[in-house]
Amino acid sequence: MKKYFSITAIASIILLALLVSCNQGKKANPEVQATEILAPDIVELRADQVKLANIETGAIEMRSLSGNLKVNGSVGVPPQNLATVCMPFGGFVKSTMLMPGNVVTRGQTLAILENQEFVDIQQNYLEAKSKLEFAEAEYLRHTELYKEDVYSQQNLQKVTADYKSLKAQVRALEQKLALIGITPANLHEDDISRSVAVVSPISGFVKSVNINIGKYVAPTDVLFEIVNSDKLYLELILFEKDADKVAAGQRIRFFINNETEQHEAVIYQTGRSVNSDKTYKVYATVTGTCKNLLPGMYVNATIEATANEVTSLPSEAIVSFDDKDYIFLFEKNKEEGGKQFTEYKMVEVHKGVTDGGFTEIRLPEGMDAKTAKVVIKGAYNLLSAKKNAGEMSC
Q: What is the pLDDT of residue 308?
A: 66
pLDDT of amino acid 26: 44
Parts of the chain with a pLDDT under 70:
1-37, 66-67, 150-151, 305-308, 389-394
Q: Do domains 37-64+309-387 and 120-183 have the same CATH topology?
A: no
* pLDDT value, residue 393: 42
Q: Which of 342, 98, 309 is nearest to 208 (CA)?
A: 98
Question: pLDDT value at position 21?
Answer: 45
Domain range summary for the chain, segments of one domain joined by +: 37-64+309-387, 68-79+228-308, 120-183
Query: What's the pLDDT score for residue 390?
Result: 44
Q: Give the pLDDT score at 306.
A: 63
Q: How does pLDDT run across 140-163, given as a tens digit for each residue?
A: 887 888 777 766 778 888 888 988
Q: Which residues contact 84 (CB under 8 A, 6 or more apart)?
A: 222, 224, 225
CATH top class, domain 37-64+309-387: mainly beta
Write down the pLDDT at residue 349.
93
Distance CA(376)–CA(315), nearest Å, equals 8
Q: What is the pLDDT of residue 201?
A: 94
Give the model's pLDDT for residue 12: 43
pTM over 0.75: no
pLDDT above 90 coverage of the chain, percent: 41
CATH fold label, 68-79+228-308: Elongation Factor Tu (Ef-tu); domain 3 (2.40.30)
CATH of domain 120-183: 1.10.287
Radius of gyration of the chain (CA): 44
